[in-house]
């Protein structure tokens, strides 16, 4: 175990959340650990959801308990079955299984309604006729107390009657709400008579038109946890100010009281996680859809070639904290490289091809050369790649007039072709504009496999593809969608789209070795010296291949960590 892995393991075993759970179980407060992951089915899961998702499922497993999947479907206007299905698929892709423990807040609509009636009967809830705007005006500010509604002192009998009639559909949408009667002068605005129910005639994806009143999220959330017997309701930090309200509901209703613990959410540099703004990118055609590989949704990351292992690794490395912070996107890329380095076969692909003709190689001949599939995995074995008189190499691997430290191919210079032979450039062919369009070389047949019998050395090894065996493919090179570390920060009058990266997608046509002719999106590969790629799950087909770059080989995170370690050593010295 290296030092990084050791530190990561210690984080996951000693963080404050796990400490609290151990204390609760040791004291006998709960018989079993039961957590939940409660997504709202109003969009697709994105990378920002993954920390809570992984944490709740992993905690349940670690302590021998269970994790419920519960859809908080209390807003029928924005929620759809499509999102329910997508969330299920994404969670399973990440490697988690909730078994039979799938629930919906809508499963509890009747129970929640009964809870609301109980609050009315206790005199701590009332029907209010103020509009949404008037309620906001009465609520006050962080420095000024709120003002009570003129309807706050309705009798219990009147409130019960009105609430029953709200359910029966006697009133127009928005004309009345049910509010809790708590404290309009509270320093916590969430306790200033929050709305519990609103009238909303909208078709629900599960209950249809059975209801015309729907509970607010804050009213459904804690009670749903209670109904399911959740032991530890692990929430991100923005719910800390809501905890007193959830406690108030549970105390008033005298029902099971889960323990709510807040932790910092996952945020990445150069990534937008606002659902509203992500929807704008889709609807404005800035991206091709929710699965555009530049998007932070799990389906987009999967299409780009990120693995579930790399995402879970990121969440583990980030750890559990009590203060929000932003993680470098480079760390996610580092996690992906570490995973793909072990599993992805190496192949040769030329993204910006220029032709090489080996003049002393027979025109009608070809060789089958042995190539290693993955030097990190001996069991991956080898494959054969064809070699012929005409090849393609990367245009950047040749310079007619190279600078001093350019060691790749140039006139008179010998280099090694990966797995093949030593070749020496003898001449070039140019077009009318003076541009090199073809490179002429000779090869040394005694260097087959890439080694010279006289032990002479070359300073560069370059990859190549046989021209007559090459497979054509479209290559999509992805970069971060936003140039700013925090794309939410914009000057007055500007929109977050001002930070869009105009070079977030570059498309090129490449030549690939023939082993990739039938490549599928299930198998990522490393294009040698270039990066990790995967066939596009939507557009790639046999005979019309499309590859997405998942991540380049250049690891800025590892380099940064090395530099910091070196600086630390110098400081100690």
Taking alpha carbons only, the member of 321, 332, 316, 333 closest to residue 9 is 316
Q: Hey, CA dihedral for 305, 307, 311, 314, is it positive or negative? A: negative
Task: Decide: helix, strand or coil at residue 505.
Answer: strand
Query: Is residue 345 a contact partner of residue 380, using CB atoms and an 8 Å limit?
Result: yes
Residues whose CB falls within 8 Å of the CB of residue 128, separated by 6 or more in sequence, listed in order: 135, 149, 151, 152, 176, 177, 178, 179, 193, 195
Catalytic residues: 40, 265, 275
Q: What is the rounded CA–CA span in Å between residue 303 and residue 310?
A: 14
Tell me the residue length of the chain.
573
DSSP annotation of 99? T
Query: Is residue 367 a contact partner of residue 419, using CB atoms and an 8 Å limit?
Result: no
Look up residue 444 and give its two tokens: 């040394």
Categorise residue 294: left if φ over 0, alpha if ψ from -120 to 50, beta otherwise: alpha
Taking alpha carbons only, the member of 33, 40, 74 closest to residue 55 is 33
Look up residue 283 and give its two tokens: 């609807």
Burial call 129-167: b when 16+ CB within 10 Å, e when fewer: ebeeeebeebbbeeeeebeebebeebeeeebbebbeebb
The set of long-range contacts for 108-112, using a CB threshold of 8 Å and a minimum separation of 24, is 108/220, 108/223, 108/224, 108/227, 109/207, 109/211, 109/215, 111/223, 111/227, 112/215, 112/219, 112/220, 112/223
Residues whose CB falls within 8 Å of the CB of residue 332, separated by 6 or more in sequence, listed in order: 47, 268, 306, 310, 311, 314
Query: Is residue 461 a contact partner of residue 450, using CB atoms and an 8 Å limit?
Result: yes
DSSP annotation of 406? -
Tell me the C-alpha to C-alpha distance, in Å, between residue 167 and each of 135, 172, 462: 21, 11, 73
With tokens 């709200």, the residue in question is 166
DSSP annotation of 258? P
**In degrees rounded to 5, what are phi and psi of residue 232?**
-130, 110
Query: Is residue 382 a contact partner of residue 419, using CB atoms and an 8 Å limit?
Result: no
Look up residue 463 and give its two tokens: 């990859």
Taking alpha carbons only, the member of 435, 423, 426, 436 closest to residue 391 is 423
Q: What is the rounded CA–CA span in Å between residue 570 and residue 573?
A: 5
Question: Which strand (E) or helix (H) includes residue 444?
Answer: strand 436-444
Query: Is residue 421 a contact partner of residue 448, using CB atoms and an 8 Å limit?
Result: yes
In angstroms and rounded to an integer, the radius of gyration of the C-alpha atoms of the chain is 31
């Amino acid at each position: 175990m290296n030092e990084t892995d050791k530190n990561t393991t210690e984080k996951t075993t000693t963080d404050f959340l796990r400490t609290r759970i151990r204390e609760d179980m040791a004291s006998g407060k709960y018989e079993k650990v039961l957590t939940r992951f409660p997504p709202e089915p109003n969009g697709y899961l994105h990378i920002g959801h993954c920390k809570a998702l992984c944490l709740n499922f992993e905690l349940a497993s670690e302590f021998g308990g269970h994790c419920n999947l519960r859809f908080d479907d209390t807003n029928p206007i924005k929620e759809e079955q499509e999102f329910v299905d997508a969330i299920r698929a994404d969670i399973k892709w990440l490697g988690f299984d909730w078994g039979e423990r799938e629930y919906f807040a809508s499963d509890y609509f009747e129970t929640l309604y009964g809870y609301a009636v109980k609050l009315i009967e206790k005199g701590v809830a009332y029907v209010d006729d103020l509009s949404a705007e008037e309620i906001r005006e009465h609520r006050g500010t962080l420095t000024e107390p709120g003002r009570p509604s003129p309807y706050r002192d309705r009798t219990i009998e009147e409130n019960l009657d009105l609430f029953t009639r709200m359910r029966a559909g006697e009133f127009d949408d928005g004309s009345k709400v049910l509010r809790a009667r708590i404290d309009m002068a509270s320093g916590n605005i969430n306790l200033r008579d929050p709305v519990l129910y609103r009238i909303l005639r909208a078709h629900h994806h599960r209950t249809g038109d059975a209801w015309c009143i729907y509970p607010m999220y804050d009213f459904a959330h804690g009670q749903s946890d209670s109904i399911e017997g959740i032991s530890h309701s692990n929430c991100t930090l923005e719910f800390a100010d809501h905890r007193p309200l959830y406690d108030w509901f549970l105390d008033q209703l005298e029902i099971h009281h889960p323990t709510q613990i807040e932790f910092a959410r996952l945020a990445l540099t150069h990534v937008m996680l606002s659902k509203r703004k992500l929807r704008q990118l889709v609807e404005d055609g800035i991206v091709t859809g929710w699965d555009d590989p530049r998007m932070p949704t799990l389906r987009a990351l999967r299409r780009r070639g990120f693995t579930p292992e790399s995402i879970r690794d990121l969440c583990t490395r980030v750890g559990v904290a009590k203060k929000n912070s932003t993680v470098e996107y480079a760390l996610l890329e580092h996690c992906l490289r570490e995973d793909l380095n072990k599993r992805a076969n190496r192949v040769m692909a030329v993204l910006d091809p220029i032709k090489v003709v080996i003049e002393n190689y027979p025109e009608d001949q070809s060789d089958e050369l042995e190539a290693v599939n993955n030097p990190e995995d001996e069991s991956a074995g080898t494959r054969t790649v064809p070699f012929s008189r005409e090849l393609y190499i990367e245009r950047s691997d040749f310079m007619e007039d190279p600078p001093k430290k350019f060691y790749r191919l140039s006139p008179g210079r010998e280099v090694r072709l990966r797995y093949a032979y030593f070749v020496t450039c003898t001449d070039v062919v140019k077009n009318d504009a003076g541009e090199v369009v073809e490179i002429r070389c000779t090869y040394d047949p005694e260097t087959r496999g890439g080694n010279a019998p006289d032990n002479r050395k070359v300073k560069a090894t370059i990859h190549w593809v046989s021209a007559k065996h090459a497979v054509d493919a479209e290559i999509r090179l992805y970069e971060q969608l936003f140039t700013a570390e925090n794309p939410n920060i914009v000057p007055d009058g500007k929109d977050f789209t001002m930070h869009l990266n105009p070079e977030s997608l570059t498309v090129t046509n490449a030549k690939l070795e023939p082993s990739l002719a039938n490549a599928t999106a299930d198998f990522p590969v490393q294009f040698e010296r270039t990066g990790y790629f995967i066939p596009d799950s939507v557009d790639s087909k046999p005979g019309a291949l499309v590859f997405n770059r998942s991540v380049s080989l250049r690891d800025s995170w590892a380099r940064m960590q090395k530099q910091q370690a070196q600086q630390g050593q110098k400081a100690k010295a």
